[in-house]
Amino acid sequence: MFCPSCQAEYREGFTECSDCGVALVWNLEQKPREEIVAGLMPVVETSSSAELGEIVDRLEKAGVPYVIEAGTALALLGGREEDVPHPWQARLSVATELSERAERIVQQARRSHRPFESPMS
């Protein structure tokens, strides 16, 4: 996540720049593709297919429509070509007006998802 004003980089989970108070964006450069999909808000990026599955399951139960982009060259979509080849990752987006609701669902899914939990522990 980046601040479009001062260009500071933030970890995932932050939504606004603490210095400028403006909403963070996924990529500093606005690519034509992002204009084409105006109205779609990315709400999560993950490299865990299990986590993605948990999130999708919850979004479907909540009736929130979504779009997933996934692969090992996802970075190319943001113009970060120097990053490829890249580990598998996925980005899930929802309609902008549903993004706050979707983000709450994502947080709930992440809290419940414990990939390293052993049934014997």
Which residues contact Zn ion by CB under 5 A?
3, 5-6, 17, 19-20
Say if strands 66-71 and 40-46 run parallel, antiparallel, or are unpaired.
unpaired
- Of the chain, the end-to-end C-alpha distance in Å amounts to 36
CB of 29 to Zn ion, least distance (A): 16
CB of 9 to Zn ion, least distance (A): 10
Strands in 89-95's sheet, in edge-to-edge order, are 40-46, 89-95, 66-71
Nearer to Zn ion, 6 or 67 (CB): 6
CB of 25 to Zn ion, least distance (A): 11
Nearer to Zn ion, 17 or 92 (CB): 17
Q: At what angle do helices 99-112 and 49-62 cross, to 10 degrees?
A: 130
For residues 38 and 17, what is the distance between their CA atoms, to the nearest angstrom? Answer: 22
Nearer to Zn ion, 8 or 77 (CB): 8
Nearer to Zn ion, 20 or 56 (CB): 20
In the block, which residue shows the tokens 């720049």? 17
CB of 12 to Zn ion, least distance (A): 16
Tokens of 78: 């943001």
